[in-house]
Chains A and B, each alone.
Chain A
Amino acid sequence: MAIVKLEGISKKYGDFIALDHLDLTVEKGEFLTLLGPSGSGKTTLLNIIAGMIQPSSGAIRIDGRDVTNLPTRQRGLGMVFQNYALMPHMSVFENVAFPLRVRRAREEDIRTSVSEVLKIVNLLDFARRKPHELSGGQQQRVAIARCLVYKPGLILMDEPLGALDKNLREQLQFEIKRLHSELGVTILYVTHDQEEALALSDRIILMNNGRVEQLGTPHDLYFHPQTVFAAQFLGESNVLAATVAGHDGEDQILNGKIGAIRSRPTSIAAGTEATVIVRPENIRRLRPGEHLSNEISGDLIETTFVGDATKYYVKTDNDTIIILKQLANAIPEDAGDKRVRIGWAAEHTLVLQKNV
């Protein structure tokens, strides 16, 4: 069942098109993420749903009701902000009680409900504190409690972990994920952090230049990117230009600058220009005598150790740089041999039609 339905939403600022005819459905109970670089329109979209920005055209439906011209306060949503937006002069208790007071709840009901949600986010002992007496992570948990307490149909989260350091961010990611699955709330989440999006979401909407670049599960987006942008935004990619040449047995053959590339068969016709994408983690250095469907020789020009993995930059004999990534080895590999042979399996060659 759809909680939110956007129909042909556009937003123009003068000549600049922030959102270009966007359709979108948020299903009840799902965790949907708007992912994209800054300026892609994800925050504009969130603010349009919240009612803080009026769309230039299109309609917004929440629970089947057209709310396009309804003010923010009548839309019955919840929102979590990057800077927490807790009322600095109110205690944690009063902050969480605020939406209930707006709804004129009875005093004893307020006390029970607030205690209940504070217990859920493990902050019951902090009820009397002022926000500035809490850490960033705790403040954001208060902000989340403030949303949960009045059970809005949809909770909007605008880069809620953006102001936290890495460890806290992962901890709170886990917490948000837990609340989502335990309470069955519907969350529309905005982030530019691909790892966060992959870790949390049921579905991801990848946005670029005010349009939906690709919509799908995290798995889909990562393993079946439909555009070069998607491939490059989620994870790392080697992008190579090639032309579809034909078939050889099970494999499709493409001709590129680095020579023949083998992939699994696609529906792209022979002679068509295509873009080939290979993930660095799918390429590896080949031992002598080892063979893969795609093989290439080159010089190792740079090795970067990034903790869990080591990245190798290989310059092929026809001047293409290919990046590969391997799980880091506690024993450093011999750096002496500059000449390397690298390869990847045909099923790891992603072929995209050119200009998509």
Chain B
Amino acid sequence: MRSKISGAESLALLGPVCAVMVLGFLVPVGFIFFRSFTIEGVFTVAGFTSLFTSPLFIRVFWTTLEISLMASVVSIVVGYPVALFISRQPEKYRSLYLIMVLFPFWTSILVKSFAFVIILGHEGVINAGLRALGLQEFEMIFNRFGVLVGSTNYLIPFAVFPILTNLLSQDANLLKAAEVMGAGPLRIFWRITFPLTAPGVSAAFVLTFVLSLGLFATPALLGGRRDMMMANLIDFYTRDTLNWNAASAVAVILLLTSAVLLVLVSRISGTGKPA
């Protein structure tokens, strides 16, 4: 049931979204590219060369990759069992669990980061509890741990959904067949279920990794000085040093890193044939 639509109709349907994308995305990105290659209107690559010789930038760049990698791995490790659990539930309960997975989206990442300050902080619930029990308290905030807790909390739904979709598309008869042949639950999981979710896991990885590359509020509120990420560096250049050229160059590098990563992962995992 596909009816042809005229040129005018498609313009009317797609026009608004195109206008918004051009004005709200392409034009600003264009400005950023322009700014990154010019200082006071004159073309130069000085912004990039000075970044690549700046120990600050190089450290922030690696920190960003490191945190993103850890956050996305932790999200997948924590999210996979959740997806597996939901996929084994009867269909009528599944949507209830999905709503629970989506709960974190009901509050902004900023609010959640503040909430973690209260929970994880020196005077926070956990440390107060540990003290009350006479146990050793430990620093969970203004360090890498705090950033990871905050970011995985935000990222887990993005890990759960692609994996869950993949699990639900698997043929239930495969598990039956393996069971009849005598395979135990562990073997069935590691030899059948898990390998077949590879496309879902790699999609979850790309999604969570790219999302965490752009983290700003979480490292700013929950991290220490050594946990500065690229977005925080952009903030630093635009607000503290008013160096728009350097800020734009960082933004361009961030954008290119995400793009390269997306291409790489889609190459490696291919367009994994669904089971």
Residues of A within 8 A of B (CB): 50, 52, 71-79, 81, 83, 85, 87-89, 98-99, 102-103, 132, 146, 150, 156
Can you name the residue of chain A whose Cβ is closest to the Cβ of B179?
A72
- A87 with B182: in contact, given A79-B177, A81-B173, A102-B187 (CB under 8 Å)? no
Q: Is the CB of A79 within 8 A of B192?
A: no
- Select which of B173, B180, B183 is within 8 A of A77 by beta carbon: B180
Q: Which residues of A contact B182 (CB under 8 A)?
A: 73-74, 76, 99, 102-103, 150
Residues of B within 8 A of A (CB): 171, 173-174, 176-184, 187, 191-192, 195-196, 273, 275
Q: Is the CB of B273 within 8 A of A79?
A: no
- Select which of B174, B180, B184 is within 8 A of A87 by beta carbon: B174
Can you name the residue of chain A whose Cβ is closest to the Cβ of B173?
A85
Q: Which residues of A contact B179 (CB under 8 A)?
A: 52, 71-73
How far apart are A197's CB and chain B's nearest CB, in angstroms?
23
Can you name the residue of chain A whose Cβ is closest to the Cβ of B181?
A99
Q: Is the CB of B181 within 8 A of A52?
A: no
Can you name the residue of chain A whose Cβ is closest to the Cβ of B185?
A73
Q: Which residues of B contact A50 (CB under 8 A)?
A: 176, 180
Q: Is the CB of B196 within 8 A of A72?
A: no
Q: Is the CB of A81 within 8 A of B181?
A: no
Q: Is the CB of A52 within 8 A of B192?
A: no
- A88 with B275: in contact, given A81-B173, A102-B187 (CB under 8 Å)? yes
Q: How far does the alpha carbon of A102 sit from the alpha carbon of B191 in the complex, in Å?
A: 11
Q: Is the CB of B171 within 8 A of A85?
A: yes
Q: Which residues of B contact A73 (CB under 8 A)?
A: 179-184
Can you name the residue of chain B whose Cβ is closest to the Cβ of A74?
B182
Q: How far does the alpha carbon of A75 sit from the alpha carbon of B181 in the complex, in Å?
A: 9
- Select which of A78, A79, A83, A156 is within 8 A of B171 by beta carbon: A83
Q: Which residues of A contact B187 (CB under 8 A)?
A: 102
Q: Is the CB of A146 within 8 A of B196?
A: no
Q: Is the CB of A85 within 8 A of B181?
A: no
Q: Which residues of A contact B184 (CB under 8 A)?
A: 73
Q: List 19 A-B contacts (CB under 8 A).
A: A50-B176, A71-B179, A73-B179, A73-B181, A75-B180, A76-B182, A77-B180, A78-B180, A79-B176, A79-B177, A81-B177, A85-B171, A85-B174, A87-B191, A88-B275, A98-B181, A99-B181, A99-B182, A102-B183
> Nearest 9 pairs between A and B by C-beta?
A85-B173, A99-B181, A85-B177, A79-B180, A72-B179, A102-B182, A73-B182, A102-B183, A81-B173
Q: Which residues of B contact A146 (CB under 8 A)?
A: 181
Q: How far does the alpha carbon of A138 sit from the alpha carbon of B275 in the complex, in Å?
A: 18
Q: Which residues of B contact A102 (CB under 8 A)?
A: 181-183, 187
Q: How far does the alpha carbon of A103 sit from the alpha carbon of B183 in the complex, in Å?
A: 8
Q: How far does the alpha carbon of A43 sit from the alpha carbon of B198 in the complex, in Å?
A: 33
Can you name the residue of chain A whose Cβ is closest to the Cβ of B180?
A79
Q: Which residues of A contact B176 (CB under 8 A)?
A: 50, 52, 72, 79, 81, 85
Q: How far does the alpha carbon of A156 sit from the alpha carbon of B181 in the complex, in Å?
A: 12
How far apart are B270's CB and chain A's nearest CB, in angstroms?
13
Can you name the residue of chain A whose Cβ is closest to the Cβ of B192?
A87
Can you name the residue of chain B whose Cβ is closest to the Cβ of A150?
B181
Q: Which residues of B contact A150 (CB under 8 A)?
A: 181-182
Q: Is the CB of A72 within 8 A of B180?
A: yes
Q: How far does the alpha carbon of A164 sit from the alpha carbon of B176 in the complex, in Å?
A: 21
Q: How far does the alpha carbon of A87 sit from the alpha carbon of B179 in the complex, in Å?
A: 13
Can you name the residue of chain B whose Cβ is closest to the Cβ of A82?
B173
Q: Which residues of B contact A83 (CB under 8 A)?
A: 171, 173
Q: How far does the alpha carbon of A103 sit from the alpha carbon of B182 in the complex, in Å?
A: 8
Q: How far does the alpha carbon of A150 sit from the alpha carbon of B177 in the complex, in Å?
A: 14
Q: Which residues of A contact B178 (CB under 8 A)?
A: 87, 98
Most buried by A among B171, B180, B184, B273: B180
